[in-house]
């Protein structure tokens, strides 16, 4: 015990808050502070995703014009997911679908699936081995259909400015189930601007469409906010399992690096959106590309879980500065 303090929260800890007013009314928020400069906000009512990430008081993530939106406002039709896309540092896409709305084997699938707009069924937090840990379970289950659960462990170090996202997806049903997941991690101002240095040491870069291909040589070069900007997406293919992506802002001396297994999470997407207020860089590892589940099935990239089977993915984030 530290004899100088009366309560651990003087130095670090987790506090639960609740929003009042607006479309986010009633949403629970966990404010996490590791005492070393790392602060984040976790949203239990949105799959325990990370809505804000700060380092030494500096914002690192992007918050969309939607702001906080409660799950009750979620619209699963087509691309209406965008109306409740808070973005934040992490929006989890899946589990039944990632990317473009489509129809796959007779099932109509919305943009990016529904898991990000689903409240966690269970959530708890505690201190463990020099880390603050949040555990949650979110159910993506329906009668006559898919029965998937996402078990999340978020561990924030108390010794270093880093954290780990560990997700285990479980098939609780009695049939083979397709599943997709994409970690939609969104960099924002002031970490992101035209001077940001972005590195993705991949073996190959594939533009998503002709528009992206037109400027592929500048795919990692950021720009100033541009009116009428049309998003560009690039798929980065790694040579081995050592997946990595980073962004560094020289003007403030702050950066962020993510590591993941690129053989397990084999679909890394760079989402470059340099619009006015819609100014965000997505560095997104996933087990698929955001082209729709039907496309992933045709290309052989779609993953499946047997009844009772589980699959675990981890993503490690470290902050520098």
Distances (CA, A) of 62 to 27, 252, 282: 19, 17, 9
pLDDT range class, residue 23, cuts 50, 70, 90: very high
| C-beta separation of 146 from 27 below 8 A | no
**What local confidence, expressed as pLDDT, does residue 133 receive?**
98
Query: What tens digit of pLDDT does each residue of 162-176 get?
Result: 999 999 999 999 999
Instruction: Report if residue 3 sits inside a domain.
Output: no
Rounded CA-CA distance 156/133 in Å is 6
| C-beta separation of 82 from 99 below 8 A | no
pLDDT range class, residue 99, cuts 50, 70, 90: very high
| C-beta separation of 53 from 89 below 8 A | yes
**What local confidence, expressed as pLDDT, does residue 240 receive?**
97
Q: Is residue 78's pLDDT more than 90?
A: no
Mean pLDDT, rounded, for 56-82: 94
Instruction: Report if residue 305 sits inside a domain.
Output: yes
DSSP-derived secondary structure for 190-220: TTSSTT-EEE---SEEEESSHHHHTTGGGTT
Mean pLDDT, rounded, for 136-153: 97
Instruction: Report if residue 1 sits inside a domain.
Output: no
The structural domain count of the chain equals 1
Rounded CA-CA distance 53/42 in Å is 9
**What local confidence, expressed as pLDDT, does residue 1 receive?**
79
Instruction: Report if residue 306 sits inside a domain.
Output: yes
Q: What is the mean pLDDT of the chain?
A: 97
| C-beta separation of 30 from 42 below 8 A | yes
Mean pLDDT, rounded, for 138-166: 97
Query: Considering only CA atoms, which of 82, 114, 113 is closest in space to residue 97?
Result: 113
pLDDT range class, residue 106, cuts 50, 70, 90: very high
Structural domain boundaries enclosing 74 = 8-320
Query: What tens digit of pLDDT does each residue of 193-230 get?
Result: 999 999 999 999 999 999 999 999 999 999 999 999 99
Instruction: Report if residue 177 sits inside a domain.
Output: yes
Instruction: Report if residue 314 sits inside a domain.
Output: yes
CATH number, domain of 226, equals 2.70.98.10
Instruction: Report if residue 2 sits inside a domain.
Output: no
Query: What tens digit of pLDDT does each residue of 287-317 get?
Result: 999 999 999 999 999 999 999 999 999 999 9
Instruction: Report if residue 157 sits inside a domain.
Output: yes
């Amino acid at each position: 015990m530290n004899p100088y303090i009366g309560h651990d929260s003087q130095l670090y800890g987790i506090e639960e808050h609740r929003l009042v007013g607006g479309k986010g009314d009633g949403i629970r928020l966990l404010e996490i502070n590791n005492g070393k400069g790392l602060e984040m906000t976790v949203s239990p009512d949105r799959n325990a995703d990370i809505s804000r990430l700060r380092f030494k008081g500096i914002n690192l993530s992007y918050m969309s014009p939607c702001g906080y939106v409660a799950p009750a406002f979620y619209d699963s039709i087509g691309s209406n997911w965008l109306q409740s896309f808070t973005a934040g540092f992490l929006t989890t896409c899946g589990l039944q679908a990632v990317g473009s709305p489509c129809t796959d084997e007779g099932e109509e699938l919305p943009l990016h699936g529904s898991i990000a707009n689903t409240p966690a069924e269970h959530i708890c937090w505690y201190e463990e081995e020099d880390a603050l840990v949040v555990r949650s379970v979110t159910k993506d289950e329906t009668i006559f259909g898919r029965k998937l659960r996402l078990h999340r462990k978020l561990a924030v170090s108390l010794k270093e400015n880093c954290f780990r996202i560990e997700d285990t997806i479980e098939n609780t049903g009695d049939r083979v189930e397709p599943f997709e997941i994409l970690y939609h991690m969104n960099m924002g101002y002031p970490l992101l601007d035209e001077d940001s240095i972005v590195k993705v040491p991949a073996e190959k870069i594939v533009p998503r469409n002709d528009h992206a291909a037109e400027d592929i040589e500048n795919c990692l070069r950021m720009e100033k906010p541009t009116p009428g900007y049309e998003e560009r997406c690039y798929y980065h293919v790694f040579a081995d399992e050592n997946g990595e992506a980073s962004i560094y802002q020289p003007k403030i001396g702050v950066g962020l690096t993510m590591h993941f297994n690129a053989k397990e999470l084999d679909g890394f997407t760079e989402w470059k959106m340099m619009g006015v207020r819609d100014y965000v860089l997505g560095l997104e590892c996933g087990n698929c590309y955001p082209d729709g589940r039907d496309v992933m099935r045709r290309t052989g990239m779609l993953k499946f879980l047997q009844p009772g089977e589980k699959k675990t993915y981890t993503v490690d984030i470290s902050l520098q500065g």
